[in-house]
Amino acid sequence: MSLKVVGLHRFPVKSMLGEEHERLVFGPRGAVGDREWALRHPDGKLGSGKNHVRFRRVPGLLEHYATYDADGLPVVTAPDGATLRPGDPRLPERFGEGVELVREGGTSHKDVSAVSLIGTASLRALGDLLGDADPVDVRRLRKNIVVETDEPWIEEDWVGREIVIGGGRQEGALRLRGLKRVKRCVMVTQAQPGLPTDNRVLKTLTAARGMCIGLHTDMVAPAPVVLGDTLVVR
């Protein structure tokens, strides 16, 4: 089975909007720079779209865009156009007393895995379950890699299998191993620029798919990936 990569996404700051790429470098922890930074509260909890033992819900995070500057530091663009960087005194004013924008340390900012992926047929199938004419917008699901597929949910069958992307290039191929299905949370329902709040998404996934869509993967061998690369499952 040979498929094609049609989307590459990186999110510099956890739970904020991120970047689309034509080429994305992957290292041992996943896409280089992906969720490397996060808002951290004085109690150590990270800013998120949900409440959890590790996270604290911060309203409006999905209204903020995060990119990297020429020095490799994150730049957050707020809805009012303000740009915020690590150490900016406006961060606690906007996100809560004592909040800092910090780089990942000994504990990963990621919820589960190094790299997440999804197939386009699954996006179409979820749109059908919702009764919509269009696929669900992949921005709601915040996956690193989007693969063009014909069969809905097929990527969820790759648990325990090796996934090879971009074989034949001098840099080598990205090799991943399917870990488990991605269990979704309230993040998929929340509004972001161009997408309204849609509580149907999580309710429908819960009823039809056990709250799951897409695949978590572990890193086997890192390498760059470019749009159009071939994906092979072994």
Q: Are residues 18 and 127 in the same domain?
A: yes
Q: What is the mean pLDDT of the chain?
A: 95
Q: Residue 185 carries which side chain, given as an amino acid letter?
A: C
Q: Which of 113, 100, 101 is nearest to 31 (CA)?
A: 113
Q: What is the pTM of this model?
A: 0.95
Q: Are residues 188 and 74 in the same domain?
A: no
What spatial distance separates the first Cα and last Cα of the chain, rounded to whole Å?
8
Q: Are residues 24 and 132 in the same domain?
A: yes
Q: Are residues 183 and 201 in the same domain?
A: yes
Q: Are residues 173 and 81 in the same domain?
A: no
Q: Which two tokens stand for residue 37?
A: 């930074």
Q: Which residues contact 222 (CB under 8 A, 6 or more apart)?
A: 25, 26, 27, 28, 174
Q: Are residues 14 and 53 in the same domain?
A: no
CA 162 remoteness from chain centre: 20
The tokens 């979820």 sit on which residue? 126
* Longest CA span, the chain: 52
CATH code of 22's domain: 2.40.33.20
User: Domain of 54?
Assistant: 37-103
Q: Are residues 127 and 165 in the same domain?
A: yes
* Residue range 115-138, pLDDT digits in tens: 999 999 999 999 999 999 999 999
> What's the number of domains the chain is made of?
2
Q: Are residues 134 and 195 in the same domain?
A: yes
* Residue range 26-50, pLDDT digits in tens: 999 999 999 999 999 999 999 998 8
Q: Which two tokens stand for residue 133?
A: 């004419």
Q: Are residues 16 and 125 in the same domain?
A: yes
The tokens 């924008």 sit on which residue? 101
Q: Are residues 20 and 72 in the same domain?
A: no
Q: Are residues 41 and 27 in the same domain?
A: no
How sure is the predictor about 233, in pLDDT bands with cuts at 50, 70 and 90?
A: very high
Residue 28 and residue 219 in contact, taking contact as beta carbons nearer than 8 Å: yes
